[in-house]
């Protein structure tokens, strides 16, 4: 079959690899000049920055992609498990290393925060149980096919669903589990891994702690963008053709069947279409399908404001991943999702890939990716918000690290909800599609297909099972399984 893939984000690339490996004739149309979508990199003045994702979990999903393509993983794609998942800095002066080794992590929590060690063991066991119960139903199969829900393993999981506390919020469950409010905040932060609010997102999402604390966080030896480069090369090897600088302007539908796409003035006929474009963009711009207008009402996930700074000194107290927490997490999330602005005391994430990749910064320098959560764009005055937030960030870094960071910023680039939307066409620059700020979020995500239009499929972070690299890879597998081999 001739298959078109719209978009070369990680979901589109993975779907293209899988479908070409099944013997199909696959062509990718990408509006940008390079593959990767939200996973990208920039270089300036001797510094290199991964601009999007910085955290790599479930690397076995990449291994699985190579296996599906019947190709060995190249030795150039190497990654290491992190010893320190993240360094946490609190306004009150406490600092904590989240060690990947659970005993070390527990010892540090006991010693620094006076936490009961049993509460950490219990919590991480329960996160593992949530994964066991939910992975098959919510992550690795379509939720929208009756045949999947009737599988024995799924039925068995459904019988245990009461154990995953979907009726509680993440924060509610965390507050009950930990004595230390500082640890509650640490585990609440995992809601931001899919752009949600821990005070609203269901406790089921505490599963994220399982991915990071039990299974481990990883980092590719040559940076996050090498994930894209390798999957792109795999696609080329499997015969996928790429058309860059090619904006798809419509999905052509005849008699309730997708029959092709239009790029500029040219129509191209295809047997099947797989879209990796944000589902909101597809529904509103690429097709006329009134039933789907309901998706407009769903709340987007958070976006981000990121400053990429070339920093002309080293900070030994920082690691690859660092968090400078706000004092009032609840207000910060209210501002993000209700007032749709950035708190004046935002939680700051500093990611420094030169801590592990020497060449990412000149000698004795560091490449800082400084990110705060931002609301998906609606109508904010971004120039002013960026100006004020930049100053708030600088003040907080100076206070926390006892420095004057502005003296060391040699060069700067900025990504905002506006630029993220322009680059990837995701609604409001949302990082993870829709938020999970409701008990029913998993069920409200758009399915990977439409019942009313044949031959049209959806992958990527805006559809089932959700955003983030692992889930986008899972969506590609779900879609490829729906399309028989040639």
Contact set with ligand FAD (CB under 6 A) = 6-12, 29-32, 37-39, 52-55, 247-248, 276-277, 281, 304, 306, 420, 424-426, 431-432, 460-461, 467-469, 472
Chain center to CA of 209: 15
DSSP state letters, 364-395 = T-EEEEEEEEEPPPSS--HHHHHHHHHHHHHH
Show the tokens assigned to 145: 């096919």
Please identify, using beta-carbon distances, which residue of 123 and 432 lies nearer to ligand FAD: 432
Shortest separation between residue 202's beta carbon and ligand FAD, angstroms: 20
The residue behind tokens 């020497």 is 358
The residue behind tokens 């004739």 is 25
Please identify, using beta-carbon distances, which residue of 125 and 296 lies nearer to ligand FAD: 296
Please identify, using beta-carbon distances, which residue of 178 and 219 lies nearer to ligand FAD: 219
Please identify, using beta-carbon distances, which residue of 12 and 346 lies nearer to ligand FAD: 12
d(CA 217, CA 268): 42
Shortest separation between residue 38's beta carbon and ligand FAD, angstroms: 3
Please identify, using beta-carbon distances, which residue of 96 and 459 lies nearer to ligand FAD: 459
Please identify, using beta-carbon distances, which residue of 37 and 223 lies nearer to ligand FAD: 37
Show the tokens assigned to 124: 């991480």
> Which burial class, exposed, middle or buried, applies to 133 when counting CB atoms under 10 A from its CB (0-12, 13-18, 19+)?
buried
Shortest separation between residue 194's beta carbon and ligand FAD, angstroms: 9
Buried b (16+ CB within 10 A) or exposed e, 74-83: eeebebeebe
Shortest separation between residue 379's beta carbon and ligand FAD, angstroms: 21
Shortest separation between residue 51's beta carbon and ligand FAD, angstroms: 7
Shortest separation between residue 432's beta carbon and ligand FAD, angstroms: 5
Per the CB < 8 A criterion, the answer to whether 309 and 358 are in contact is no
Rounded to 5°, angle at Cα 225 from 38 and 87: 90
Please identify, using beta-carbon distances, which residue of 218 and 408 lies nearer to ligand FAD: 218
Shortest separation between residue 415's beta carbon and ligand FAD, angstroms: 6
Show the tokens assigned to 288: 């006329």
Per the CB < 8 A criterion, the answer to whether 24 and 486 are in contact is yes
Using CA atoms in the order 383, 387, 388, 392, what is the torsion angle rounded to 10 degrees?
140
């Amino acid at each position: 079959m001739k298959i078109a893939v719209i978009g070369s984000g990680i979901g589109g690339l993975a779907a293209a690899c899988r479908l070409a490996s099944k013997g199909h004739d696959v062509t990718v149309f990408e509006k940008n000049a390079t593959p990767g979508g939200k996973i990208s990199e920039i270089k300036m003045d001797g510094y290199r920055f991964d601009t999007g994702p910085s955290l790599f979990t479930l690397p076995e999903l990449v291994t699985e992609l190579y296996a599906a393509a019947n190709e060995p993983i190249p030795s150039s794609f190497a990654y290491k498990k992190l010893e320190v998942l993240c360094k946490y800095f609190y306004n009150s002066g406490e600092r904590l290393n989240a060690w990947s080794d659970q005993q070390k992590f527990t010892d540090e929590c006991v010693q620094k925060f006076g936490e009961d060690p049993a509460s950490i063991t219990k919590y991480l066991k329960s996160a593992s149980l949530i994964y066991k119960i939910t992975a098959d139903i919510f992550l690795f199969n379509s939720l929208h096919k009756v045949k999947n829900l009737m599988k024995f393993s799924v039925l068995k999981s459904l019988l245990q669903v009461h154990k995953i506390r979907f009726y509680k919020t993440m924060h509610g469950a965390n507050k009950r589990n930990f004595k230390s409010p500082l640890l509650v905040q640490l585990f609440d932060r995992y809601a931001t891994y899919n752009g949600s609010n821990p005070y609203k997102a269901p406790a089921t999402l505490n599963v994220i702690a399982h991915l990071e604390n039990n299974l481990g966080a990883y980092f590719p030896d040559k940076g996050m963008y090498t994930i894209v480069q390798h999957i792109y090369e795999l696609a080329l090897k499997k015969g996928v053709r790429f058309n860059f600088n090619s904006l798809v302007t419509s999905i052509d539908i005849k008699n309730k069947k997708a029959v092709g796409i239009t790029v500029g003035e040219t129509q191209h006929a295809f047997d099947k279409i797989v879209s990796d474009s944000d589902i909101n963009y597809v529904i509103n711009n690429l097709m006329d399908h009134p039933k789907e207008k309901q998706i407009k009402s769903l709340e987007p996930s958070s976006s981000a404001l990121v400053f990429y700074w070339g920093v002309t000194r080293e900070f030994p107290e920082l690691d690859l991943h660092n968090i400078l927490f706000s004092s009032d997490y609840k207000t910060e999330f209210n501002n993000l999702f209700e007032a749709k602005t950035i708190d004046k005391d935002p939680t700051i994430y500093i990611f420094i890939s030169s801590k592990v990749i020497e060449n990412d910064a000149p000698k004795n320098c560091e490449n800082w990716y400084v990110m705060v959560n931002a609301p998906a764009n609606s109508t904010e005055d971004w120039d002013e918000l960026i100006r004020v937030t930049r100053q708030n960030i600088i003040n907080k870094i100076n206070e926390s690290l006892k420095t004057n960071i502005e003296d060391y910023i040699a060069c700067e680039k900025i990504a905002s909800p506006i630029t993220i939307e322009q680059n990837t066409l995701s609604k409001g620059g949302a990082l993870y599609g829709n938020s999970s700020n409701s008990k029913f979020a998993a069920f409200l995500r758009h399915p990977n297909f439409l019942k009313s239009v044949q031959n049209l499929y959806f992958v990527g972070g805006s559809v089932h099972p959700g955003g983030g690299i692992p889930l986008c890879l899972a969506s590609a597998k779900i879609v490829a399984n729906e399309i028989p081999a040639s």
